């Protein structure tokens, strides 16, 4: 059986000039490569070299913690006899940066330099010193842009994976929070971090995440969407099987439930696995508000999702095939509206839906200052003009508008986009077969949903299949009070399923006084 050939590693040369020339050549003489050759009392009679990529490092760190100690400190003569011993002396006594390690190959040195390290070379040494001086301009932690809440933390992830890890660690302050870093991309060498709570997450799920990440072989990873398409269970499905979030508190809550988080350097969107269909209807704010308010809002989301998929199809089916189901007054009103419309109900609905999708996309791509105004004004003007021109009926404009508003209720954009696409399939089936076509389409969708998996977890759990102990309503349609949530989601097979000991309401002060 053939084995994958490992890349050949190039050892560093004892010649400082040879090393600097090789690195300069590997970077193609790039203008952001800084090579600083100097003499120091720390190594008399030896020339030293400092190399780093401008823009990836913190200049103050280099000046205060690397250059200044190297040029001012004088070592004992016997400690600088050999080049390798000299580098070890620098690591132990001179360089005051926290993250310091030795490397002996050119490939390691190049990789660390592109990660924001500076390279310290010495004449006669085949070992180099890497100091972590990562810095440069980065976006500050700010309010989440796509998952806003009224009550709750107002911090969102940024494009730096190390900052994102620290945001999660500030919430889960436990040594059981394990983080493993992977390099993916033969050209980008993107940092991909896997986070899970040891002792809670299922070991089989964690191993499966590692296996799927290790199997990725691509030249570059620019966003978490690259990773998502590689590791998702089912490719040819409209329903997302991985949850996307830019909120550290959502990541922390998922880790506490026994899920695994995947953070990718260069994007503020993290992946959470495994996930279920009902996870996309839950917002972080559901667990910060009172349970009765959260339950009411969650039920509204389910109703709005069904409306966003089926309302245009139901309107087409009723007005085309099943007019007897409408009250006489409403039927006469709709017939009067459609008297001058030249298109059948299906063409009319498709025309309005496509127009609205074009307006939505235009509003997203235009500058922020005018994008919302263009989409709103465009919808109002086009809708009113279309009705006056007799191209569409006023009832169809109302149906399409309410469908679009219902779609905006969804807290997760990728699930909302799914309903936008499925809606067209339902409309076509309703236009051809009426209610029978809608029924067949819904049954086909339910069968497809039940067949999906997310890292081995059934997509429709805990409803299909039902999970003993969780109850059908547990955190699906009803958000029960926190004091009653004893167990983690059992469909995730957590190693420690219990979240608290007693599911009893704490006694009030009035009762305790008695």
Query: Mean pLDDT in the chain?
Result: 86
CA nearest neighbour of 494 among 222, 197, 252: 197
Segment 472-482 shows an average pLDDT of 79
Distance (Å, whole) CA 489 – CA 498: 10
Most confident residue range from 38-47, 53-62, 277-286: 277-286
Segment 328-357 shows an average pLDDT of 86
Per cent of the chain over pLDDT 70 is 89
Q: Is the pLDDT of residue 1 over 50?
A: no
Q: Is the pLDDT of residue 157 over 80?
A: yes
Distance (Å, whole) CA 251 – CA 273: 10
Q: Is the pLDDT of residue 376 over 70?
A: no
* pLDDT tens figures, 175-218: 999 999 999 999 999 999 999 999 999 999 999 999 999 999 99
Q: Is the pLDDT of residue 329 over 80?
A: yes
Beta strands in 185-302 (DSSP E): 190-197, 243-245, 260-264, 270-273
Contact (CB, 8 A) for 144 and 156: yes
Segment 139-152 shows an average pLDDT of 87
Using CB atoms within 10 Å of the CB of residue 393, give its burial: 0 to 12 exposed, 13 to 18 middle, 19+ buried: buried
Q: Return the HEC string of 47-83.
A: EEEEEEECCCECHHHHHHHHHHHHHHCCCCHHHHCCH
- Which residue bears the tokens 């008399």? 44
At residue 7 the predicted structure's pLDDT band, cuts being 50, 70 and 90, is low
* pLDDT tens figures, 254-269: 999 999 999 999 999 9
Q: Is the pLDDT of residue 466 over 80?
A: no
At residue 47 the predicted structure's pLDDT band, cuts being 50, 70 and 90, is confident
Q: Is the pLDDT of residue 503 over 80?
A: no
Contact (CB, 8 A) for 287 and 475: no
Q: Which of 113-117, 136-140, 313-317 has the lowest mean pLDDT?
A: 136-140
pLDDT of residue 3: 45
Q: Is the pLDDT of residue 73 over 90?
A: no
Across 463-483, b (16+ Cβ under 10 Å) vs e yields beeebeebeeebbbebbbeee
Q: pTM for this structure?
A: 0.87
At residue 78 the predicted structure's pLDDT band, cuts being 50, 70 and 90, is very low
Angle between the N-to-C axes of helices 394-407 and 371-388, in degrees from 0 to 180, rounded to the nearest 10: 160
pLDDT of residue 5: 52
Q: Which of 3-12, 75-84, 390-399 has the lowest mean pLDDT?
A: 75-84
Q: Is the pLDDT of residue 424 over 60?
A: yes
Q: Is the pLDDT of residue 238 over 90?
A: yes
pLDDT of residue 373: 63
């Amino acid at each position: 059986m053939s084995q994958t050939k490992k890349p050949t590693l190039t050892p560093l040369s004892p010649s400082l000039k040879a090393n600097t020339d090789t690195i300069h050549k590997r970077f193609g003489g790039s203008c952001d490569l800084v090579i600083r050759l100097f003499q120091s009392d720390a190594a008399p009679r030896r020339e030293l070299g400092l190399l780093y990529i401008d823009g990836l490092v913190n200049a103050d760190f280099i000046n205060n913690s690397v250059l200044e100690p190297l040029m001012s400190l004088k070592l004992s003569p016997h400690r600088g006899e050999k080049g390798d011993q000299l580098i070890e002396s620098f690591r132990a006594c001179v360089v005051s940066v926290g993250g310091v390690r030795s490397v002996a190959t050119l490939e390691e040195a190049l990789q660390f330099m592109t990660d924001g390290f500076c390279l310290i070379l010495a004449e006669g040494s085949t070992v180099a010193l890497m100091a972590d001086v990562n810095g440069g301009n980065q976006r500050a932690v700010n309010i989440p842009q796509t998952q806003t809440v009224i009550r709750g933390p107002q911090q969102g992830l940024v494009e730096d994976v190390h900052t994102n890890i620290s945001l999660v660690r500030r919430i889960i302050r436990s040594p059981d929070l394990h983080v493993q870093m992977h390099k993916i991309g033969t050209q980008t060498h993107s940092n991909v971090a896997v986070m899970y709570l040891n002792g809670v997450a299922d070991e089989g799920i964690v191993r499966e995440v590692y296996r799927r990440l290790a199997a990725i072989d691509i030249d570059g990873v620019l966003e978490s969407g690259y990773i998502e398409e590689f590791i998702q269970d089912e490719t040819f499905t409209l329903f997302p099987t991985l949850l996307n979030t830019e909120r550290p508190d959502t990541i922390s809550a998922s880790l506490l439930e026994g899920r695994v988080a995947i953070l990718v350097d260069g994007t503020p969107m993290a992946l959470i696995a495994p996930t279920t269909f009902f996870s996309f209807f839950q917002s972080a704010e559901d667990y910060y508000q009172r349970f009765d308010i959260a339950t009411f809002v969650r039920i509204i989301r389910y109703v709005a999702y069904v409306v966003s998929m089926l309302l245009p199809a139901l309107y087409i089916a009723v007005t085309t095939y099943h007019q007897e189901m409408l009250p006489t007054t409403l039927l006469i009103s709709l017939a009067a509206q459609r008297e001058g419309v030249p298109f059948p109900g299906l063409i009319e609905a498709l025309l309005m839906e496509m127009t609205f999708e074009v307006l939505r996309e235009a509003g997203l791509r235009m500058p922020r200052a005018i994008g919302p105004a263009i989409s709103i004004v465009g919808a109002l003007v086009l809708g009113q003009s279309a009705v006056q021109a007799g191209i569409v009926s006023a009832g169809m404009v109302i149906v399409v508008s309410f469908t679009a508003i219902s779609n905006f209720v969804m807290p997760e954009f990728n699930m909302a986009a799914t309903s936008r696409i499925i809606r067209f399939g339902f409309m076509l089936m309703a236009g051809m077969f009426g209610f029978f076509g809608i029924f067949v389409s819904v049954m086909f969708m339910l069968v497809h949903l039940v067949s999906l998996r997310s890292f081995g977890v059934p997509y429709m759990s805990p409803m299909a299949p039902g999970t003993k102990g969780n109850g059908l309503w547990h955190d699906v349609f009803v958000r029960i009070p926190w004091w009653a949530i004893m167990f983690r989601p059992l469909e995730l097979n957590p190693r420690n399923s219990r979240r608290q000991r007693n599911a009893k309401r704490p006694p009030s002060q009035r009762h305790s006084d008695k």
